[in-house]
Structure 1
């Protein structure tokens, strides 16, 4: 595989819809391809297609926007080896970089300047068995761990996982309701009832634009 280029499904400018940078103007680099098939996936269109671009071409497109936040997403971005070099080069240029990963591939080679957003797969995702718990060793205080909750069983599982691995001592933990599958108010009530030390989040981009790609 070419280590100087990446297959890009889309590159666009929008507001960050999740994590601690929610609401900030951000350049999104969505890579093509993913080895997982989560039931709630909202970017299945990124499983194939796209254009192969050199790292220089990608960076040039990023520099065309007046934003200093860049999110590398997918698909599963870590499935393409050249992504590590891309993220390091973006950091060298002064960008605040985050990567959204499924947690099914190793994160230890990610540049330490990059904020890792690791999505731990709940049973409702259908891909729970793909979780690579070894990744928790490489989580730092600047990173974020996310659970997408489909139903009460997912919630209970996520709470148990969070406790078993003492995740809130490592970084901020995010609980997000699966879009159009679990009502946000239900998840919010569960969190408050149990007095969890987590951040409840909704997907701002979905609220604003629905399922429109490139938003």
Structure 2
């Protein structure tokens, strides 16, 4: 079996988002994505040719003194061997999170992986790719992220949560340089929503650089 993955980068930094925010984490970024979101900040990961075996990826991950690993992209599930990588990381006793869009079925992901699913809002120009059945597959260990680029996105997200209840923790995040986090916070409070405001820690620390 071919156990290679096309890898954009493997790096060590603080987790900037989601439940493990602030924790030292190894990031494994896979190359490629079928979506082209208007607010994407990882376009550099769309293309490249850097095939690495899963054994080599594990060797790189083990160089760092942390149990937290985030598999991200691009869209990592676009590569079928991503599932094999997730299984191997879990077997090695890492605490694994997967950052994925809502456009690919999440049913076959290892149950010990924490899924951070980024359902696309209208301003992404890719909301027609969402698989809304994915939302009901999320569990309490998972998180549903909505990136808000406008008041229309916010209102759309509120309606989405009403239509598709979820066990997962819900994160609202503002598009960097499009909406001030304080504005999004006020909308959340005004609506008395049971969601978590997410601020991208890595961008507060290092600006719009891709990683540290």
TM range (shorter): over 0.9
Give the equivalent residue in structure 1 for 2:150. Answer: 151
Give the equivalent residue in structure 2 for 1:210. Answer: 207
State the alpha-carbon separation in 2 of the partners of residues 34 and 3 from structure 1. 20
Task: Number of aligned residue pairs: give it.
Answer: 212
Give TM-score, length-normalised by structure 1.
0.97
Give TM-score, length-normalised by structure 2.
0.98
| Contact 2:136/2:164, CA 8 A, preserved across alignment | no
State the alpha-carbon separation in 2 of the partners of residues 86 and 14 from structure 1. 20
2:51 aligned with 1:27: no
Q: What are the residue-to-residue correspondences of 1:188-207 with 2, within 5 Å?
A: 188-207=185-204
State the alpha-carbon separation in 1 of the partners of residues 2 and 25 from structure 2. 25
State the alpha-carbon separation in 2 of the partners of residues 211 and 6 from structure 1. 27
| Contact 1:69/1:95, CA 8 A, preserved across alignment | yes
Name the SS of the counterpart of 1:163 in structure 2.
Answer: helix
Deviation at 1:50, TM superposition (A): 4.5
> Could you list the runs of 4 or more consecutive aligned residues of structure 1 that deviate by over 4 angstroms after TM superposition?
none
Give the equivalent residue in structure 1 for 2:131. Answer: 132
1:181 to 178, 183, 196: 178
State the alpha-carbon separation in 1 of the partners of residues 19 and 55 from structure 2. 28
State the alpha-carbon separation in 2 of the partners of residues 178 and 41 from structure 1. 9
Name the SS of the counterpart of 2:93 in structure 1.
Answer: coil
Provide structure 2 residue ranges, at least 5 long, that are not aligned to the other structure. Answer: none
2:44 aligned with 1:45: yes
State the alpha-carbon separation in 2 of the partners of residues 3 and 149 from structure 1. 39
2:81 aligned with 1:82: yes
The one-character-per-residue Cα deviations of 1:121-147 (angstroms, maximum 9, x if unpaired) are: 000110010001121232111000000
Cα RMSD after superposing both structures: 0.9
Deviation at 1:166, TM superposition (A): 1.3
Give the equivalent residue in structure 2 for 1:10. Answer: 9
Give the equivalent residue in structure 1 for 2:65. Answer: 66
The one-character-per-residue Cα deviations of 1:86-107 (angstroms, maximum 9, x if unpaired) are: 0111111110000000110111
